[in-house]
Amino acid sequence: MSEEQQANEQGNPEGEQKFTIQRTYVKDISFETPNSPVVFTEKWEPELNVELNSQANLLNEGLYEVVLNVTVTAKQGDKTAYLVEAQQAGIFEISGFDEQQMGHMIHSYCPTILFPYAREVVGDLVARGSFPQFNLAPVNFDALYAQHLQQNAAEAAEQPIH
């Protein structure tokens, strides 16, 4: 029996789109309060900076690790009150999508799934550091991915043709 026939009999015909979350996990976290306890004695008026990015690694055919990196820096004037760095990861089985759809799945859909977990990790670390509650604002990963594609297209258009 050929592999294609076996796949068809097992309910996974060739070309069928498949998306499965295998696992979500915290890959790396860091929390620093370099100016404590002094920052606790000052009026809390922080300047917050949030940075997000994601990356993907092919583990096996159709199996990807997607990592959402979140960095939050809270400053009181020129002093860093806290710095949170979290890598929320997931292993996803993704197959049967064309190249464009695959890009969207890996760089938009998967980070959207990982975001609530990252949000919880960051909020928990800030609370454990004895700082006021912090919740990451919702993020439109579809819009970020579209912006990334536009930026890449613009950069490609600027490159001289040899």
Residue 11 binned pLDDT confidence (cut-offs 50, 70, 90): very low
Domain that residue 79 falls in = 17-131
Q: Is residue 97 part of a domain?
A: yes
Rounded-to-integer distance, Cα 130 and Cα 68, Å: 25
Please report the pLDDT score of residue 13 as a whole number. 54
- Report how many domains make up the chain: 1
> pLDDT digit string (tens) for 114-146?
999 999 999 999 999 999 999 999 999 999 999
Please report the pLDDT score of residue 4 as a whole number. 42
Q: Is residue 9 part of a domain?
A: no
**Could you tell me the pTM of the whole model?**
0.83
Q: Is residue 102 part of a domain?
A: yes
φ, ψ of residue 103 to 5 degrees: the values are -60, -45
Cβ partners under 8 Å of residue 7, min gap 6 = 13, 14
Q: Please give the full DSSP string across 81-101, using - where no structure is assigned.
A: EEEEEEEEEEEEEEES--HHH
Contact present, 78 and 34 (Cβ < 8 Å): no
φ, ψ of residue 70 to 5 degrees: the values are -125, 130
